[in-house]
A and B are shown apart, each in its own frame.
Chain A
Amino acid sequence: MTHTLHRTGDIESLKEDFPMLTHVARGYNDIGAGERLRQMAEIARKYTDLNFGDCKVANQFMMRPEEIMRKHTVGWQVVFKNKKSLIACMKELKEKNIGISVVVSGLFDEVLECCKKAEINPPLVEFALGIHGNKQKLWPPEILDFVTMCGHGLVSGHLVKKMVEDIKKKKIPLKKAATELAKPCLCGAFNPHRAAKLLRKMIK
């Protein structure tokens, strides 16, 4: 799975978007991994409460985080909006040395700077080499920025349009609309903070 890759948007917006995921390695550290994942989730959640989820279970807008943590299987996701919290979390995860893999997505310059500050030497990276094929079928860029925050493609562009319309008609508050968009993304990789900012831009 590559569900935190290919997030589109302008640099300023992406500077507030750092999904973090953990994943067990089957056959190497999966036995008894549930408790280790829970310990790591508790660390991460001290530094961010924007989103939290496990795609085999639910996200925090569908289920209480404590319940999600009791059901962990292979990994979880959280999202950070600033480097300070991300670095602090990275440092604690490194220090606690629990042993499950952690991946952070975001602007390479920003994430690698955070790694340096946390004294972490990342062994591997993954690059996105663009979208190809019949691009006429793509959502316009301002909607694609929302849609690509769920790598499984569960956040509908139609829902983005609906939320924009409903905010304009004062049927739903902006922050609640951002949360509504986060709900279908089971993993918890969707960034509602960034979504709220993007929605604000769209209703202007």
Chain B
Amino acid sequence: MRIDMEKCVGCGRCVSYCPVGAIQIFEQNPKKKKSKIDEDECVECGVCLRAQVCKPKAIYLPELVWPRVVRRAFSDPMVEHKETGVPGRGTEEMKTNEVTGRFKKGSWGMAVEVGRPGVGGRLEDLETIAMALAGKGIVFEPRNPVTFLFEDVKTGKLKPELRGEKVLSAIIEFEVGPDQLEGVLQSLQDVSGRVETVFSVDLISFPEEREKGPALEIAKRLGFPVYPNGKVNLGLGRILNQ
């Protein structure tokens, strides 16, 4: 995002709307204040523009080119991933599983959300995590837009020009088998001290996992917190396309 300095009246109304604190007020001269967006920090989420708090309409979206366009694709949910053909940050994952049958008993779906919650992150952090996971033999979900950012999908190595790009969040999705889960969780613990940003960890399973599944036991034993809240698929979907 950009602010047209000619139009900006320096009221500062836009400042607090930025989720990553990229908008600052500065003194253009002793009598005139202006708002400015730190382009290196801006994730192109569009919140400041959509907030409609700028009376003189000084905020605008410039034309974005590769690799900066990736920021918007991963930070603004209104944008579809034109480069990858995949909409949204991730996939339908467990939300439509009763229809798609994607996850089956005997393995678990996992997601690592880099930059969430409320921090944002550089893609170099995503690469660090992805390479650690790849080292444990996981296969990245082919339909997830993050997978299209890799130069090498087997190692999790990013296209080099993307490393410095900052996004609100990006999701690494994969499945783990019973022999992989513990190693994958340990690798996430190992990498935790090597990244600049935060990441959230998700585990997709079956309702009985809460009572007798091994995955939560392993996670708890390794020191992972298991939140008392989460998502429940009601199983109301079905195949309707002819």
Contact = CB atoms under 8 A, between A and B. Distances in A.
B93 A1 contact: yes
Given A129-B219, A131-B200, A106 B229 contact: yes
Given A125-B205, A154-B19, A14 B115 contact: no
B16 A161 contact: yes
A200 interface: no
B120 interface: yes
Interface size class of A (residues with CB under 8 A): 35 or more
Contacts, number: 294
Contacts of A162: 16
Nearest to B189: A132
Contacts of A28: 96, 99-100, 237, 239-241
Interface in B58-92: 75, 77-78, 87-92
A30 B241 contact: yes
B206 interface: yes
Contacts of A23: 92, 95-96
A101 B236 contact: yes
B11 interface: no
A19 to B, nearest CB: 9
Contact of B206 (A105, A124, A128, A156): A124
A185 B154 CA distance: 35
A195 interface: no
Nearest to A27: B241
A107 B230 CA distance: 6
Nearest to B114: A133
B237 A128 contact: no
Contacts of B224: 129-130
Given A125-B210, A128-B227, A152 B169 contact: yes
Contacts of B231: 2, 4-5, 103-105, 125-126
A150 to B, nearest CB: 9
9 contacts: A1-B88, A2-B171, A25-B239, A125-B232, A128-B202, A133-B125, A139-B117, A144-B117, A147-B118
Nearest 3 Cβ contacts at the A-B interface: A101-B237, A25-B96, A29-B240
Interface of A: 1-2, 4-8, 11, 14, 21, 23-33, 36, 55-56, 62, 74-75, 90, 93-94, 97-109, 111-112, 115, 120-135, 137-139, 144, 147-148, 151-159, 161-162, 183-184, 186-187
Given A115-B232, A132-B201, 14 more contacts: A5-B231, A97-B236, A101-B99, A102-B233, A120-B235, A125-B232, A126-B204, A138-B117, A138-B198, A153-B117, A153-B118, A154-B19, A154-B168, A186-B77
